Structure 1
Amino acid sequence: MTNDRMRYRRFGKTNLQFSVFSLGTMRCLASPAEAYRTVNHAIAQGINHLETARGYGKSEQYLGEIFRTGLAVSREQVYITTKLPPAPNADTMRNWLDESLQRLNLDYIDCLAIHGINTWEHLEWVLAPNGCMQPVQQAIASGKIRHLGFSTHGSLDVILAAISTDLFEFVNLHYYYFFQRHAAAIALAHQKDMGIFIISPADKGGRLYTPTATLKELCAPFSPLELNYRFLLSDRRITTLSVGAANPDELTEPLTVADKDYPLTPIEVEIIERLHTRMVDALSTDLCSQCYKCLPCPENINIPEVLRLRNLAVAYDMTDYGQYRYGMFGNAGHWFPGVKGANCTECGDCLPRCPQQLDIPKLLTDTHQRLNGTPRRRLWD
């Protein structure tokens, strides 16, 4: 199924033609009725890829009921991805696969993603002989799974290693205007002809659906959310962007740019340069360039991410977003690793490694004072 306002791109070596926006169903959890309305509205707007996961509450169950009774188009016109965590053994993964198929009321899944290859241990589980990949490969051979990929919230070195295994046809990862650390992973995945799915560009990309006045002024005449979508859609290596709508209304703003997948225009380039200049001017000698050379920290502080949140708060007044993400340190495990800046002991290990000679302990303390608030967990926890 297609739509005049929607653009479609080849999802890497899977050869599936995905809409440039995908419906992530993590937030379609309020009720079966709301899930039904949101899914069918998305399909009517040209979205042909639905993404769920074992860990997304009742998402698989709700989708399964829609597939059984109320999908607006035929099954063959919509692509389904579900995600299962890496498991330490084959039996666990086999049981999870069977349960997902049963909940979804499907004979096959178009795409399975190993959900959260976030650590070296997770990658070892995937690579272990007769491990969790054995039932996955059997499911692929029997036609229950058509294509295999992985999602990740891990460090860049883990992501590059997972891509380099050549086990996967696609990758789901974080990459946005305000977080470009994974540019090398985008490049390697593209080199290997993998489909590239961007996770949560509106929320994790900066809570851009509720932008600050400063950010709105800097991005005018575009909204910050629109500019971020355009930054991503202009990159032809990227296949699709996740939209985690909880109801049909939340699809409206993203889909206004569903047909705007051309290169960045001169005014968009000018605005991006304006954002960069503001960052440099506002931070001055305190600007963390995100080189990551300060790691590892003996206290397990994710120094670059802490200071990235400080960069955004100081330059663009993105304090609410900073508090949202900073509050997850120490509460989200391997999904958002590290602890808060207040754990700094001023040991000084990071100081000689910083090419900008930043006073990192001082900046960590300042970030904690700015952003510390209520501890947060991941949504589906």
Structure 2
Amino acid sequence: MPPPCPPVNGGERGGDVDFQGKITVSATQALRFVLANDAVTVAIPGMTKVSEVCENVKVGETFQQMSDKEKRQLIEAAEELGKDFCRSCGYCLPCPNGIKIPVILRHLGYYMRYGLKDWAKGRYSMVEIKASECEECGKCEEKCPYELPIIEKLKQAHELLAA
């Protein structure tokens, strides 16, 4: 029996993602990309609102293959994003110190990938328990299905966002 796969982008349905003006990727495009893969038999997109359920159902009911150009753009966007980012799946939680790891790493992502430095710093200033409270127990890293260096990323987040 094969090992269980980690969630593709676990936990949260994304909105439109703008890769610093190069390409904007919508949740609908991402779902179409997944459904276009012949190896995928079931897609379970994260949803928090009825409107998101309706959008996803519409994608399934009116599915059209993506053009080669659309596929290329999404693959390029994924390569630019890389693999070393938090997908907000929440598997790292709970932190014994109450650190909201996905929230802090999301702010770090906005700072690093999208250049929204002031915005990310402002949001981090509202976080009740800062990344500096991490005692490096490693429990979060043991549970992360993406094997992210969470402790290192929390240090980086505090250095950049608390400045």
Q: Does 1:217 align with 2:22?
A: yes
Q: Aligned residue for 2:125?
A: 327
Over 3 Å counting, the alpha-carbon distance change for 1:326 and 1:277 in structure 2 is farther
**In structure 1, what is the Cα distance between the partners aligned to 2:122 and 2:70?**
29
Deviation at 1:218, TM superposition (A): 2.8
Q: Does 1:308 align with 2:116?
A: no
Which secondary structure does the structure 2 equivalent of 1:286 belong to?
A: coil
The letter for the 2-side match of 1:287 is F
**In structure 1, what is the Cα distance between the partners aligned to 2:115 and 2:89?**
23
Match of residue 345, structure 1, among 111, 117, 135: 135
Over 3 Å counting, the alpha-carbon distance change for 1:218 and 1:349 in structure 2 is same
- TM-score of the two chains, using structure 2 as the length reference: 0.56
Q: Size of the alignment, in residue pairs? A: 120
- State the percentage of identical aligned residues: 27
**In structure 2, what is the Cα distance between the partners aligned to 1:277 and 1:350?**
30
Alignment map for 1:270-309 (pairs within 5 Å): 270=70, 274=74, 277-278=76-77, 280-282=79-81, 284-309=82-107
The letter for the 1-side match of 2:12 is R
Over 3 Å counting, the alpha-carbon distance change for 1:277 and 1:217 in structure 2 is closer
**In structure 2, what is the Cα distance between the partners aligned to 1:305 and 1:279?**
21
Contiguous gaps of at least 5 residues in structure 1: 1-179, 184-200, 220-226, 232-236, 240-262, 331-338, 374-381
**In structure 2, what is the Cα distance between the partners aligned to 1:215 and 1:304?**
21
Structure of higher RCO (CA pairs closer than 8 Å, 6+ residues apart): 2
The letter for the 1-side match of 2:89 is C
8 Å contact from structure 1 (residues 280, 287) kept in 2: no
Contiguous gaps of at least 5 residues in structure 2: 1-10, 30-49, 53-61
The letter for the 1-side match of 2:22 is E
Over 3 Å counting, the alpha-carbon distance change for 1:279 and 1:365 in structure 2 is farther
Q: Aligned residue for 1:364?
A: 154
**In structure 2, what is the Cα distance between the partners aligned to 1:277 and 1:311?**
18
The letter for the 2-side match of 1:344 is C
Deviation at 1:277, TM superposition (A): 4.3
**In structure 1, what is the Cα distance between the partners aligned to 2:142 and 2:149?**
10
The letter for the 2-side match of 1:278 is A
For residues 92-121 of structure 1, give each alpha carbon's deviation from its aligned partner in whole angstroms, at most 9, with x where no partner exists.
xxxxxxxxxxxxxxxxxxxxxxxxxxxxxx
- TM-score of the two chains, using structure 1 as the length reference: 0.26
Which secondary structure does the structure 2 equivalent of 1:350 belong to?
A: helix
**In structure 2, what is the Cα distance between the partners aligned to 1:324 and 1:312?**
11
**In structure 2, what is the Cα distance between the partners aligned to 1:321 and 1:270?**
30
Higher strand proportion: 1
Larger radius of gyration between Structure 1 and Structure 2? 1
**In structure 2, what is the Cα distance between the partners aligned to 1:294 and 1:279?**
23
**In structure 1, what is the Cα distance between the partners aligned to 2:78 and 2:118?**
17
Over 3 Å counting, the alpha-carbon distance change for 1:315 and 1:270 in structure 2 is farther
Over 3 Å counting, the alpha-carbon distance change for 1:313 and 1:297 in structure 2 is same
Deviation at 1:355, TM superposition (A): 1.5
The letter for the 2-side match of 1:359 is P
Q: Point out 4+ residue stretches in structure 1 off by more than 4 angstroms.
A: none
**In structure 1, what is the Cα distance between the partners aligned to 2:146 and 2:13?**
21
